[in-house]
Structures are given as structure tokens and as C-alpha cells.
Amino acid sequence: MIRCYFSDYHPIVLFIYFISVISFAIFLMHPVCLLISISAAISYLALLRIKKYMLAIFLIISIINPLFNHAGVTILFYLPTGNPFTLESLLYGIATSFMIITVIAWFCCYNKVVTSDKLLYLFGKLLPQLSLIISMVLRLIPLYKIRFNKIMHANPSDNAFKTAALVVSIMVTWSMETAIDTADSMKARGYGLPNRTTFSNYKLTTRDIVVSIGLVVMSGYLICSNKLAVTYIPIFNYTQSLPDFIIYTILCYTPIILSIMEELKWKYLISKI
Amino acid sequence: MEVFNIENLTFKYPTKEKAALTDITLQIDKGEFILLCGQSGCGKTTLIKHLKPSLTPHGQTQGNIFYKSTNIKQVSTREDASEIGYVLQNPDNQIVTDKVWHELAFGLENLGIDKQQIRLRVAEMANFFGIQNWFYNDTASLSGGQKQLLNLASIIVMGVEVLILDEPTSQLDPISAVDFLETLKKINDELGITIILTEHRLEEVFKLVDKVIVMQDSKILFYDTPHNVCKNLIETQHPMANAMPTPARIAAALTHEELPFTIKSGRNLLYKLIGSTNILADNLIEKPIDTNFNILTLKDVFFRYTKDGNDILKGLSINVAQGEIYAILGGNGTGKSTLLNVIAKNLRPYRGKIKSSTKSIALLPQDPQVMFIKDTVSEELANNEISKLLNISHLLNFHPFDLSGGEQQKVALAKILLSNPDILLLDEPTKGLDCYFKAELAQILASLNKTIILVSHDIEFCAKYASRCGLYFDGQIISEGPPREFFSNNYFYTTSASRMCRHIISNAVTVKEVIETCQNQLK
């Protein structure tokens, strides 16, 4: 199995990538584009070893849309309520469900690739205080979880409500008490001095710049050319353009292409030893 | 050149009658490694907090403190943060961020240092402390020892000149504690950083430090080299003499030579005094415990937390007799606390039998804080008899969280005793306690006349006070016996006294036993 080399890129590259694929997934409702995007998202999920079962959502949305949306010229049959069930609204339902599933799949990938510290790094410069607070909260969640379990163990009781009240009371007192230590520790290390800087481990290298330019150029082209129009209702109608399809495919498959290239490079380097 | 010069410092907390510090005059030289010790509540923490302006408590102050010949009140916040480092007691509470690398960079970020410079300093520190392997980990995933090491590193990284530590090892197991103290020695030797340390584990610290300050009742009792301080404490029969390093205590009772602080020099002294014959002291052969009347029996108990998880208890068997103090010793994070929870029926084993002739079993958890619900100790206990027995009557009007660690431990114990259990389970009861509290706790436990099962790292405590000890390893009790038999059979996992007299006196495990046997030999 190939590992995902794309995750090693600079957070800014990852962020540009996900912003563009997710927005295109929402706005490009062209059937070919939907297929390109969903196939890329599903392949990327596989590359990241994430398993999701989204068939149910797909079926539900495809069927529900035509039940309530009766616009469209091609009537397939009439519902018991007397309303028409049209081909166009069925197609639109299928397209919408494709779109929703694709977006969900992209967000799953996003969650795995853009971890909390990468996100903090990206927005830390805009809101340094907020990013520190988020980092502190992420520190406290596991700490409080452990404390919660300790308290639950120490105070076994049959009455769930009583236990809950007890646990909350102890948690609050205990955490306030320990927060004094944390405040001391921050003060002792100069928190509150003016001109605080933000440190990160990420370094923008040439390959990051090259890939981000590539992503921006491809997205820009797709936005400007605007050749992939589609209407579902009242009449299903669409335009097409081969170069746009190719560029969209490359854009969506960027992580997979980069990972394969990297993998081949490894194979090549190893074969030369 | 002196770093700190304290002149006639007297300090009183606003709400207290008594002064917390009385007429302290002290000079601390650059590059020294200083140990500050004394009973809990003697003013150690108050004193060292005066050396760090940002943490100095509010109250009435007289006298002056000079840091590098400027009055400490004139020290800027920036100097305070970047030159005077302060490590607190609890490893968890002082970690601020979620990632190890971010924690290391936190102080430097506050100082406004640029990114490139931070990268360099963080890299240097990660190498110096061996942190590079867990550099990207979440801080929550670290062990206690690693957490405290991270706290230390994230202060050293700021380029401090003085390092002040308030009982940094009290929450650590003995092995991590010794590692931590040796790291301090390395910092002192290799970086020349001045270190002021308060500590309870005097056994390990005395051999590392340059000077020792002993405080008593808000005053300085001694300020001298470790050797002289140790000699003075033992000669004046000060209660703290019991906390001195074992080799020194044994040597002081037998000779007038220089006191040894290490096992190695202690052994050399014993060889010189009584030769290398292997003595079996007759007076120390103990009578077996009557284990016929078992109050609790565990037979082949298996336990795991999740279906797919690893077994924590693997066929553990144990018999506990009525009225005994059974101590379970063993490494960290191996499942000793789990065992207590299984006995307390908080957890259910998936195989094996637990038979007990009583249903009333109570467990005192490791963190006494988890038990406090009420606003005062008296509400918490609702029964004054118990408070007399545990000698905590004077604490009844305090909030449980305002008490010291030892006092909290006693209040929690009192609360457990309210239900009058037949079997008492104690999880690390001596954690963070000084020698006074340990002695008191032992006395209380003995006076209760209950069956007690305790889990501990504290070898010396178990050797002195347990009726039987068991070694827990890999989910089983692999050896057990009365303390003397148990510890004299162990080569490494045993008391300092036993290690010191191995192959010289084969069955002495406490300082008193070694001294008595040697005195008999010397007659």
C-alpha cells in the first residue's frame, strides 16, 4: 500500500487544496465533475485508510428529493398524492446526494490530514491568543477525561443523578485548584510580556511553493473558463469542455498523483543501490 | 559571586497569626546546587517563592532580597521570566499546551524570540534531554517522569541562570525520581546553572548537592555542607535524622569517621568494621504469620479492560490474613491499582475466584482530591471521633483543598474509615509525604486493627511497617513473604540497608537491624 506523502506538505498547501476541492465539489454540479470528484475523494479515503459507509445517505437523498420536488418536464409517473414524479428532479436528487457524499468524504480526508496543530499554525498568525487557547483546551480535554474516570471510580453509587452531581462538583473544585498551578507556570515563563511570537515546526520549501502555485493556477483556470455549466430543472442540459475535465481531474487527484510519484521515486532510488 | 543575598527576611501571610519566615539571612553563590529541606509547612515553599518575584505571595514583608546585587523588587518581568526558572510539584498542572514541541517553545514565544532562534533552542534542548523521540507527541500521552522532564526542559530552554524546584519528584515513582534528580545534577555540572531544590527524598539527594539548608518553624536551622548537616542532625537526634541516607545513619551509629552517602562507600565501611564474613543474625529470624484464617482469597484471577486488550492480571493468586498489613510492591503502570479495584469490586475479573469473608471493603485512591465533596473537613467527616483518631481535629474548619498533601491524605483516610470497613485498600498512601507524615501514617495504620492491603513503590516504608510483602510483576504476585525474608531474598528490589549489607549480614533489611547486628559483632 502507498502511504500518503501529501500529508507531509506545508499546511498552507494542504489548506489551498482542500479549500478548492471542497468548494468545487459544492459548486460544480456537472455530472462528469461529480464523478471525478467523488472518485478522487474515495481513492484518497482509501489512501488514508479511512472506511466510511455512505451508501445509505446516497439512497435516502436520491429518493427524497423527487418526492418533494415536482418541477421538471419529463414525468415518469404520478405519486398517490397526485403530484408528478419527474426524471429531472430524480437526476437532481442523485446529483445532490453525490455532492453531499463527496463533500463529506473530502471533510473526512481533511480531518485526517489537517490536524489541530496544522490548523493552529495557519490561523495562529491572525489570532495568536485564540490559537493558544485552543491549544490549551486540547491539552485539558484528555486531562479532564482521566480525572473524570478517577472520580467515577472513587465514588461508586447506584444513583446516576447523584453521581453526576457529585462528579461535576468535584471536577470543578479540583480543576479550579489545579488551574492556579497552571497560571503560576504560565506567569513563571513570562506569559503576558508584550510582543509574543508564535513558533511552528513548518518550513515552506520549494516543492510547497511549486505545488501551491499549481493548485492556485488550476483553480483559477476552472473559475475563469466557466465552461462546465449544467441545469437540471426544468430541463436537464449541460455543456462540456475536455481541457476543463482534465484539469479538474488533476486538481482532485493531486494528493494521489504526488504520493504515486514519491513512491516511484523511492522504488527508483532503492533499485539503484 | 552570589546570586541571591537574603537579608533578615521576615514574612507573614495576611490571614495568619504566625510568621511564615522569620529573620532569614542567606547567601547563595553562583553555580551551587542547594537542597532546602524541612518538615511540611516549615516555610520552604514560601521562601523559594520569594526568590521568584512573579510568584511571591502577598503579605507583610520585612528585610531585603538581592538578585545579582539588585533588589529583587527592581527585577523586571522579562528578567524574572528569562533568568529565574521555577518548576512546581505536580507534573500535570504546569503543562500548558497540547504538544511537546509547543510546550518547549511556550516560554520563548512569550519572550518574543523570533522563529528561527526558537527552532535552534528547542532543538538543542530536545537533544540535551533526549526528548527528540517524543517531540511530536501529545503531552497527555507522556508518563509522569516524562512530563516532569518536559517541564524542566521547557524552563531550561529559556536560558535561565537560576533554577528553583519545589518538590519536583514527589509525584513520581522512585525510578523516574532518581532519573530526574540525576538530570538536575547534569544540568548543574554541565551548564553551571544554580539550582535550589526542595525535596523529601533525602536518601538520593544528599550525595548530589553542594550545600543543604534545613528549615524548622520558619527559621533556618542549618546551612552547611551535606556532611556537616547530616552529622548535626544525627547528633542532635533531630526527627529529620530518620530521613538521612541509610549509609550515613548506619555509619554514624558505629564510627566517628566521615559519613558515607552512597551504598558503595557504606559497604566499604562495613567491610572495614566487621570483615567480609556473611553473618546470619539470629535475633532477626521471624516467626511465620498465621495464614490459616484468611479474610480474602484471590485465586487465578484474570482481568482485562477491553475484549481485545491485553490481560492486566494474569492468573493472580493471593491470600490475605485477618488483621495483617499486606504490601504489594512493583513497577509503575503495570496494573497494581487495577488489582485494588478488582478487590474492591469496582472492576470485575473475567476468570478466577475472589472469596472474602466480609463485604465491607473500602479503597483509598491515589489522589485524595477525588473524594472531597464538601466545603470543610468537618462536613466531610460528620464524625469527630474519627478526626481525633487521625489527629486532624485542628483541620476541621479548613476547605479540604487548602490542606497539604499529607493532611489531605489523612482526611481522605478518615472519610474512608467512616463506613468502618473490615478491609482497607490503600493506593500509594505515602506518595508525596515527608518522613514525619510517613511515620504518623504508619502509626495510624497500626492502631486501626484492620486488614490493610496497600500498593506502594515505597520500599523502605513497606520493609518497616508491612507484615507481609508481595512482588507484583506481569499480572501476578511472583514472590511474597514477611518483609525481612522477602527483602533479603531480593538482590535489587530491596531496601538501601539490605543492599548495603548484602553478603555481609544476610538477613538485615532495616537500618536499626543493621546497626544492632553490627554492634553485637563489635562487642
Contact criterion met (CB < 8 Å) for B107 and A135: no
Give the model's pLDDT for residue B292. 67
Could you tell me which chain A residue has the CA closest to the CA of B135?
A201
Element (H, E) at A169: helix A160-188
Asked if the C-beta of B175 comes within 8 angstroms of chain A's C-beta atoms, the answer is: no
| Cell numbers standing for residue B227 | 556532611
The answer to whether B130 and A215 have CB atoms below 8 angstroms apart is no
Q: What residue has cell string 499546511?
A: A11
- Average pLDDT of B62-82? 93
Give the model's pLDDT for residue A54. 62
Secondary structure class of A5 (helix, strand, coil): coil
Does residue B65 surpass a pLDDT of 90?
Answer: yes
For residue B106, give how far its alpha carbon lies from the nearest alpha carbon of chain A (Å). 8
DSSP code at position B330: E
Torsion angles phi and psi, residue A227, rounded to 5: -100, -5
Give the model's pLDDT for residue B286. 63
Contact criterion met (CB < 8 Å) for B107 and A189: yes
Torsion angles phi and psi, residue A171, rounded to 5: -55, -45
- Average pLDDT of A250-264? 93
| Cell numbers standing for residue A19 | 479549500
Region of B112 (left: φ > 0; alpha: ψ -120 to 50; beta: rest) is: left
Contact criterion met (CB < 8 Å) for B110 and A193: yes
Q: What is the mean pLDDT of chain A?
A: 85
Give the model's pLDDT for residue A136. 87
Contact criterion met (CB < 8 Å) for A187 and B110: no
Asked if the C-beta of B461 comes within 8 angstroms of chain A's C-beta atoms, the answer is: no
For residue B304, give how far its alpha carbon lies from the nearest alpha carbon of chain A (Å). 16
Does residue B398 surpass a pLDDT of 70?
Answer: yes
For residue A4, give how far its alpha carbon lies from the nearest alpha carbon of chain B (Å). 18
Name the percent of chain A lying above pLDDT 70. Answer: 95
Could you tell me which chain B residue has the CA closest to the CA of A170?
B373
For residue A63, give how far its alpha carbon lies from the nearest alpha carbon of chain B (Å). 40
Q: What is the pLDDT of residues B242-258, one digit of tens each?
A: 899 999 999 999 888 88
B110, B111, B140: residue with CB nearest A142: B140
Does residue A125 surpass a pLDDT of 80?
Answer: no
Contact criterion met (CB < 8 Å) for B96 and A136: yes
The answer to whether B364 and B417 have CB atoms below 8 angstroms apart is no
B105, B112, B158: residue with CB nearest A195: B112
For residue B115, give how far its alpha carbon lies from the nearest alpha carbon of chain A (Å). 5
| Cell numbers standing for residue A151 | 472520580
| Helix axes of A116-124 and A128-154: crossing angle, nearest 10 degrees | 150
Q: How confident is the model at residue B374 (pLDDT cuts 50, 70, 90)?
A: confident
Contact criterion met (CB < 8 Å) for A135 and B98: yes
**Strands (DSSP E) found in B331-467:** 351-356, 361-364, 423-427, 451-456
Q: What residue has cell string 504476585?
A: B477
Least confident residue range of A45-59, B42-56, B325-339, B380-394: A45-59
| Helix axes of B246-254 and B511-522: crossing angle, nearest 10 degrees | 30
Give the model's pLDDT for residue B37. 93
Q: What is the pLDDT of residues B113-167, one digit of tens each?
A: 998 999 999 999 999 999 999 998 889 889 889 999 999 999 999 999 999 999 9
Contact criterion met (CB < 8 Å) for B95 and A139: yes
| Cell numbers standing for residue B35 | 537542597
DSSP code at position B278: -
Q: What residues have CB less than 8 Å from A259, skipping those under 6 apart?
A: A2, A3, A4, A5, A6, A47
For residue A149, give how far its alpha carbon lies from the nearest alpha carbon of chain B (Å). 10
Tally: H helices and E strands in chain A: 10, 4
H-assigned helices in B192-316: 202-205, 226-235, 246-254, 263-274
Contact criterion met (CB < 8 Å) for A185 and B94: yes
Does residue B220 surpass a pLDDT of 70?
Answer: yes
Give the model's pLDDT for residue A120. 76
Give the model's pLDDT for residue B25. 94
Give the model's pLDDT for residue A53. 61
Contact criterion met (CB < 8 Å) for B107 and A190: yes
CA nearest B215: which of B48, B379, B425, B62? B48
Does residue B285 surpass a pLDDT of 80?
Answer: no
Asked if the C-beta of B164 comes within 8 angstroms of chain A's C-beta atoms, the answer is: no
| Beta-sheet pairing, B294-303 with B313-321 | antiparallel
Q: What is the pLDDT of residues A231-247, one digit of tens each?
A: 887 888 888 889 999 99
| Cell numbers standing for residue B459 | 520500599
- What is the amino acid identity at position A41? A
Decide which of B96 and A118 is more confident.
Answer: B96
CA nearest A90: which of A80, A75, A101, A105? A75
Q: What is the pLDDT of residues B411-469, one digit of tens each?
A: 999 988 888 899 999 999 998 888 888 888 999 998 888 999 999 988 999 998 999 99
Asked if the C-beta of B282 comes within 8 angstroms of chain A's C-beta atoms, the answer is: no
A153, A181, A192: residue with CB nearest B88: A181
* Residues in A touching B138 (Cβ below 8 Å): 142
Q: What is the C-alpha separation between B459 and B495, in angstroms, rounded? A: 6
| Cell numbers standing for residue B377 | 473537613
Does residue A250 surpass a pLDDT of 90?
Answer: yes
Does residue A97 surpass a pLDDT of 80?
Answer: yes
| Helix axes of B246-254 and B263-274: crossing angle, nearest 10 degrees | 30
DSSP code at position B25: E
Contacts within 8 Å (CB) and 24+ apart, B159-162: B159/B82, B159/B83, B159/B121, B160/B82, B160/B83, B160/B84, B160/B85, B160/B193, B161/B3, B161/B30, B161/B83, B161/B84, B161/B193, B161/B194, B162/B3, B162/B4, B162/B51, B162/B83, B162/B84, B162/B85, B162/B193, B162/B194, B162/B195, B162/B196
Q: What is the mean pLDDT of chain B?
A: 89
CA nearest B511: which of B453, B435, B447? B435
A153, A178, A197: residue with CB nearest B365: A153
Name the percent of chain A lying above pLDDT 90. Answer: 28
Residue B350 buriedness (CB in 10 A; 0-12 / 13-18 / 19+): exposed
For residue A132, give how far its alpha carbon lies from the nearest alpha carbon of chain B (Å). 8
Contact criterion met (CB < 8 Å) for B92 and A198: no
Rounded to 5°, the CA angle B254-B255-B256 comes to 145
A170, A185, A197: residue with CB nearest B370: A170
Q: What is the C-alpha separation between A246 and A253, in angstroms, rounded? A: 11
- Average pLDDT of B59-83? 93
Q: What is the C-alpha separation between A95 and A41, in angstroms, rounded? A: 16
Give the model's pLDDT for residue B169. 92
Give the model's pLDDT for residue A78. 85
Peptide bond into A234 cis (omega under 30): yes
pTM (whole model) above 0.80: yes
Q: What residue has cell string 473544585?
A: A173
A132, A153, A190: residue with CB nearest B77: A190
Give the model's pLDDT for residue A67. 75
Q: Mind giving me the DSSP string for B160-223?
A: -SEEEEESTTTTS-HHHHHHHHHHHHHHHHHH--EEEEE-S-HHHHTTT-SEEEEEETTEEEEE
Contact criterion met (CB < 8 Å) for A190 and B90: no
Asked if the C-beta of B473 comes within 8 angstroms of chain A's C-beta atoms, the answer is: no
Contact criterion met (CB < 8 Å) for A199 and B108: yes
The B residues from 353 to 392 touching A (CB cutoff 8 Å) are: 363, 365-367, 369-373
Torsion angles phi and psi, residue A267, rounded to 5: -55, -45
Beta bridge pairs of residue B356: B296
Q: What is the C-alpha separation between B295 and B309, in angstroms, rounded? A: 31
Q: How confident is the model at residue A55 (pLDDT cuts 50, 70, 90)?
A: low
Asked if the C-beta of A192 comes within 8 angstroms of chain B's C-beta atoms, the answer is: yes
Asked if the C-beta of B98 comes within 8 angstroms of chain A's C-beta atoms, the answer is: yes
Per-residue exposure over B146-162, b if at least 16 CB sit within 10 Å of its own CB, e if not:
bbbbbbbbbbbbbbbbb
| Beta-sheet pairing, B294-303 with B351-356 | antiparallel
* Residues in A touching B112 (Cβ below 8 Å): 193-197
Decide which of B39 and A252 is more confident.
Answer: A252
Q: What is the C-alpha separation between B245 and B260, in angstroms, rounded? A: 8
Alpha-carbon distances of A16 from A215, A245, B134, B432, rounded to whole Å: 7, 20, 29, 51
Alpha-carbon distances of B456 from A232, B89, B109, B426, B469, rounded to whole Å: 73, 20, 40, 9, 10
Does residue A251 surpass a pLDDT of 80?
Answer: yes
Give the model's pLDDT for residue A155. 73
Decide which of B279 and B501 is more confident.
Answer: B501
